[in-house]
A = this chain, B = another copy of it.
C-alpha cells in the first residue's frame, strides 16, 4: 500500500503547497527492499535512528501469541561479533538513549546518539538484523522475564485484566484481540526454535523501514545504509499483512470485572471503528475531530455533561486510535463520582452521545477542536523522537509519507456534518464493548 513500494529513487515527499508544511522527508529504497526515510531536524547535533519491522503481535503465528514481543526482548541477546550487552553499553557510553517497542502492527528499535555516531549504531543494528545468536541458556531465563512482566503488568492489575477481556471481546476473531505480550499459557510454550523461526521469517531488509531523524542528509544516510543494511541479501518473502478480519458486530457486549483491589471504579465503551488506512476518504479525520469534540479535555461534551453539569463523574473522555493496519478502536470512558453506579454513568454517557448526534457542533466548537488537534500535531513534531516515531508507525501500518504530511489539511477540511455523520454511523452500540471495573460485582 505504501507509495514507497514503487521504486528506490529519491523523491520529495510532498509536491503540492501546504498550509502546515511539515519537514521535507527524504524517502528511498535499497535494492534489498529496505526502505529509508530521512527526516531533517537541524536544531541539535543529534540523530534518532530507528528500525521498524512490519510485524507486530497481530502477526504472531497461531498458538504463539507473544512471540513478537518475546523476540523484541531476545534482540538484546547479542551476536557473534557483539555479545550480549555490548550494543547497549556502546549507546550508553556515547551518552545516547535506546529503546524498543512492540505494537499490534510493528516492532521497532531505536537509538538516539550524537550525529557523528550514526554510523556505528547502524552497524550494530544491521548486525543484529541477521546475526542474532540464541541459545537455550538465554531464551529460557528471558521467557521468565516476560512472564514476570506479564504478572506485574497484567495479571495483578484488575484494570489491565479488564482491558484484555474487553479487547478479546471486541476482536473475537481478529488478532488485535490478543494481548501484545501474549496469553500466559502460550508464552510458557515459546521455545528457542519458535523465536529463531520467527526471526528468520520477519527480520529481513524487505520487511524493515529505516527511519533517521536529525542533522543528516539523505545521501549520507543512504551511503551508510549501503555499507551496513545494504550488505544483507533480500530474503525473498514480502511482509505478511493478511489477518483474519472481524465479522460485522451484531450484539453489544458488556464485560464486567470486579476485584477488591479496585479503588476507583470506571467504565469504558470501545467501538470498532475504521482506521486511517481502512476508512473511506475523510472518515478517519472526522472520527478524530469527533472524538476530540466528545471527549478531548475539559471543554468536551462528555466532560461538561458528566463532570461539570451533572457531577456524576470525576473524569470523562474519548480517544480515537487512528493508526492501525486493520479496523481500530474508539474509546469513550468515565469514572463515577462516589455513590454513582456504573449503570447510571453508562446511561448518561449514552445520553450525551445521543445528544451529540442530534445537535451538531457549532462552528466555534468545530474550529477550536481542529485548531487544537493540528496544534498538538505540530507540537509533537518538536520532539525529534516523536516525529520519527510518527512517520515510522505510519509507514509500518501502510500509510504513505503524503498521508502523514497531509493530515493537518485533511483535519482542517472536516465539516460539522462530517462529524455528525461518522458519529451516527460508527457510535452504534452493536459495534461496542462496554467494560465495567468495580470493587465487587453488583448483586
Contacts and interface: CB of A to CB of B under 8 A. Distances in A.
Interface string A235-265: 0000000111101011111111100000000
Nearest to A63: B244
A244 B185 CA distance: 10
Contacts of A184: 247
Interface residues of A, number: 38
Interface string A169-202: 1001100011000011110000000000000000
A84 interface: no
A173 B165 contact: no
Most buried by B among A164, A244, A347: A244
A63 B162 CA distance: 27
A441 interface: yes
Contacts of A435: 251
A443 interface: yes
Contacts of A378: none
Nearest to A160: B250
A399 to B, nearest CB: 24
Interface in A257-278: 257
A88 interface: no
Interface string A346-361: 0100100000000000
B183 A173 contact: yes
A350 B256 CA distance: 16
A344 to B, nearest CB: 11
A311 interface: no
Interface in A389-443: 429-430, 435, 441, 443
B247 A257 contact: no
A62 interface: yes
B254 A253 contact: yes
A185 B165 CA distance: 24
Contacts of A62: 62, 244
A24 interface: no
Given A172-B172, A185-B245, A245-B185, A161 B250 contact: yes
A5 B242 CA distance: 38
Contacts of A8: none
A314 interface: no
A184 B248 CA distance: 9
A305 interface: no
A259 to B, nearest CB: 9
A12 B172 CA distance: 45
A168 interface: yes
Given A168-B172, A244-B62, A253 B255 contact: yes
A358 to B, nearest CB: 15
A252 B255 contact: yes
Contacts of A244: 62-63, 186
Nearest to A430: B257
Q: Which 7 pairs across A and B sit closest by C-beta, in order of nearness?
A: A165-B251, A168-B172, A251-B257, A254-B254, A183-B247, A161-B250, A252-B256
Interface of A: 62-63, 161-162, 164-166, 168-169, 172-173, 177-178, 183-186, 242-245, 247, 249-257, 347, 350, 429-430, 435, 441, 443
Given A63-B243, A250-B257, A254-B255, 10 more contacts: A62-B62, A63-B242, A161-B250, A164-B250, A165-B250, A168-B172, A169-B169, A169-B253, A252-B255, A252-B256
